[in-house]
Amino acid sequence: MPTSDIAPKDRLIVALDLGSVEAAEAMVARLGDSVTFYKIGYQLGYAGGLPLARELADNGKKVFLDLKLHDIGNTVARGVESIARLGVTFLTVHAYPQTMKAAAEARQGTALKLLAVTVLTSYDDGDLHAAGYRLGVSDLVEARARQAQALGIDGLVCSPEEAARLRKIVGHQMLLVTPGIRPAGAATGDQKRIMTPARAISAGADYLVVGRPVLEAADPEAAANGIVAEIAQALA
Ligand code: C5P
């Protein structure tokens, strides 16, 4: 099971995978109080989404900046310092030891929490081999999860299928954040390894990242409320 002291509503992170700040602002307004946590990734981040991240944080929302940083340590550290000043809650970095160490040191004394991406879920063993890696996906995920924990990273982004195994590896000291969530009956889109909100929570996920099932719903607020209800039921 997940870490316990988070309200069901605050465990839903809606991915603002939209092409403009105007579209994102309209969605946030439409979702109102039903959603407390938003993810901003490459698409919106590079389309003016960073001032929006600050604005959302200033307005009492939590923000997950999914920028997956990876560079030389000094550059990562300076980037993390700037991002911490935006007032966001979560930031992703790739799980390379130098990158994680630099990011963990740079965010000290701030409220920013760091999430490591172990191995991108679009990679299989063949992709890792082609990229020059010796380990397969399963072993590399485990090795990087352990390194992330040792370096003081707060959590991991993982598929819901990996959550139960990672929970055993890292215990309850780390947050597990899972995309690939589909409420029963929702279109799967390009996601292949999906779980319902309830099953992901039961597998040990702390936070669920959901994009299209909310953004593309006829009634996004009702869709968000439905997911939160399912989370609450799984935790009860
Ligand atoms: O629309 P959907 O619910 O599939 O969106 C999921 C979000 O989680 C997207 O922003 C996507 O980039 C992100 N994500 C993912 N799978 C990963 C990592 C991130 O779907 N392994």
* Calpha distance 80→135 (Å, rounded): 29
Mean predicted lDDT score pLDDT of the chain: 96
Chain segment 207-216, per-residue pLDDT in tens: 999 999 999 9
Q: pLDDT per residue over 97-111, tens digit each?
A: 999 999 999 999 999
Q: Which residues contact 17 (CB under 8 A, 6 or more apart)?
A: 41, 43, 44, 211, 212, 215
Q: Which helix or strand (DSSP H or E) is residue 178 part of?
A: strand 175-178
What's residue 212's pLDDT?
A: 97
Whether 114 has a pLDDT exceeding 80, the answer reads yes
Q: Which residue minimizes the CA distance to atom 15 of ligand 1?
A: 179
Give the whole-angstrom CA distance, residue 115 versus residue 154.
6
Whose CA is closest to 221, among 24, 16, 35?
A: 35
Question: Which of 209, 214, 215 has most ligand 1 atoms within 8 Å of CB, for mutation?
Answer: 209
- Give the distance (Å) from ligand 1 centre to CA of residue 211: 7
Q: How many other C-beta atoms are found inside a 10 Å radius of the C-beta of residue 183?
A: 18
Q: Is the pLDDT of residue 163 over 70?
A: yes
Task: Using the atom order of ligand 1, give the atom closest to the CA of residue 41.
Answer: 10
Ligand 1 nearest-atom number relative to CA 121 = 21
Given a cut of 90, whether residue 147 has pLDDT beyond it is yes
Length of the chain: 236
* pLDDT given at position 5: 85
Active site residues: 68
Residue 1 in this model has a pLDDT that exceeds 80: no
Average pLDDT over residues 164-189: 92
Would you place residue 3 in the very low, low, confident or very high pLDDT band (cuts 50, 70, 90)?
A: low
Quote the tokens at residue 212. Answer: 């299209």
| Contact between residue 232 and residue 13 where contact means Cβ atoms under 8 Å apart | no
CA 26, CA 211: separation in Å to the nearest integer? 15
The DSSP code sequence of 127-141 is HHHHTT-SS-HHHHH
Query: pLDDT (tens digit, 9 = 90+) per residue, 8-39?
Result: 999 999 999 999 999 999 999 999 999 999 99
